[in-house]
Amino acid sequence: MGVAVVEDKNGSRSVLVSTSEPRGYLRPGVILQSGEKVIAGTGHAEADIVKYANSNGLKVIDIGATRPVCASCQNILEPTGAHVSTPLNPLSSSGQ
């Protein structure tokens, strides 16, 4: 799972929640707070959040995940300038 604080062009912030589970399924015990939105994705939660944010004119401010962020997602997150609140997996010497 991934969670991000995003900001629209007016400076209003909101929270996006994504999961690698099919159709945005949230496991038992995961409860959305008021104003949070689930982003159904097709792959890694962090990448799905960035894709949704980019498609909807949102800036990713801060993002975190339930596991260390993989190299692929690090490469997707880097151009956003977002702060990553969870550990990162080490990048290979090739940056992949």
Q: Which residues of the chain have pLDDT under 70?
A: 92-96
Q: Domain extents for the chain?
A: 2-84
Task: Name, in order, each residue with C-beta under 8 angstroms of 67's C-beta and a sequence gap of 6 or more.
Answer: 86
pLDDT digits (tens, 9 = 90+) for 5-27: 999 999 999 999 998 777 777 88
What is the structure's pLDDT at 38?
Answer: 93
**Exposure class string for 71-85: b at 16+ Cβ within 10 A, else e:** eebbebbeebebebe
What is the structure's pLDDT at 96?
Answer: 52
User: How long, in residues, is the chain?
Assistant: 96
State how far the alpha carbon of 53 is from the alpha carbons of 19, 26, 36, 46, in Å: 15, 20, 14, 11
Instruction: Check if the beta carbon of residue 56 is closer than 8 Å to that of residue 65.
Output: no
How far apart are alpha carbons 18 and 49 in whole angstroms? 6
How far apart are alpha carbons 91 and 96 in whole angstroms? 6
